[in-house]
Amino acid sequence: MGIKVNVSEQEQRSGDREPLPAGKYHMAITDVQMSSPADGDNVGRPMLVFEFTVQDSPDTQVPGRESKEFVNRKDFVNACLWEGALYTIVGILKALGEYENSLDSGGDLDVPTEPEFYLTRELYVRRAVNRKQKERFPDIPDYWIQAQGYSPYKQTASTGATRQQSDSLLP
């Protein structure tokens, strides 16, 4: 005799599965937390940990894959918030159209750290092979493909949504 429990839809989807392949994904920011590296030279320095959720994957670059195959899958990115390591947060802020708004009068970046600033915002995330990870972990291909770039999400009529006015020359 066992114990009967209801299994949620999310629990049903759990289990081992292949990582997201290289490609360009339409994602929403579904969680952001302030953190710090756990080890190495940067322990104690601030970083934001982003959780992205795939909304659509129009360019998975994998023949035979449906664009909806990866919908609701998660991807995680650490954005370091110290000089010399700002590439990720700068890319995310530019993709959200917030980079210029985040510069203070002296030209320094004032990074928003409140989760509410980011939550539900959408962007494209490009996943590609990280050569440094490939060299560091030659026997673990799952580590090689990571977020490598960010670009603005532009809604189009083909997605059933309206185009963002800020990017259009039309009224």
> What angle (nearest 5°) sits at the alpha carbon of residue 32, between those of residues 164 and 49?
115
The Cα 115–Cα 30 span in angstroms is: 9
Residue 120 lies in a domain: yes
pLDDT at 67: 64
Instruction: Pick the more confident residue, 124 or 67.
Output: 124
Categorize the per-residue pLDDT at 2 as very low, low, confident or very high, splitting at 50, 70 and 90: confident
Q: What is the DSSP letter of 109?
A: B
Rounded mean pLDDT of 109-114? 96
pLDDT at 169: 41
pLDDT at 16: 55
Tens digits of residue pLDDT in 22-56: 889 999 999 999 999 999 999 999 999 999 999 98
Residue 163 lies in a domain: no
Tens digits of residue pLDDT in 151-169: 999 876 554 443 344 444 4
Closest of 72, 67, 74, 75 to residue 55, by C-alpha: 72
Q: Residue 135 pLDDT > 80, yes or no?
A: yes
Residues in contact with 66: Cβ distance below 8 Å, sequence separation at least 6, in sequence order: none
Residue 170 lies in a domain: no
Closest of 90, 91, 100, 98 to residue 117, by C-alpha: 98
Rounded mean pLDDT of 124-132? 93
Residue-number span of the structural domain to which 89 is assigned: 20-154
CA 125 → CA 2, 49, 55, 114, distances in Å?
44, 15, 11, 21
Tens digits of residue pLDDT in 72-94: 999 999 999 999 999 999 999 99
Residue 131 lies in a domain: yes
Q: Residue 65 pLDDT > 60, yes or no?
A: no
Residue 107 lies in a domain: yes
| Percent of the chain whose pLDDT exceeds 70 | 78
The Cα 151–Cα 56 span in angstroms is: 14
Q: Which strand (E) or helix (H) includes residue 139?
A: none
Look at the chain and report how many structural domains it folds into. 1
3-state helix, strand, coil in the chain (%, to 5): 20, 30, 50
User: Is the full-model pTM beyond 0.85?
Assistant: no
Residue 146 lies in a domain: yes
Residue 61 lies in a domain: yes
Residue 66 lies in a domain: yes
pLDDT at 167: 45
Rounded mean pLDDT of 113-136? 95
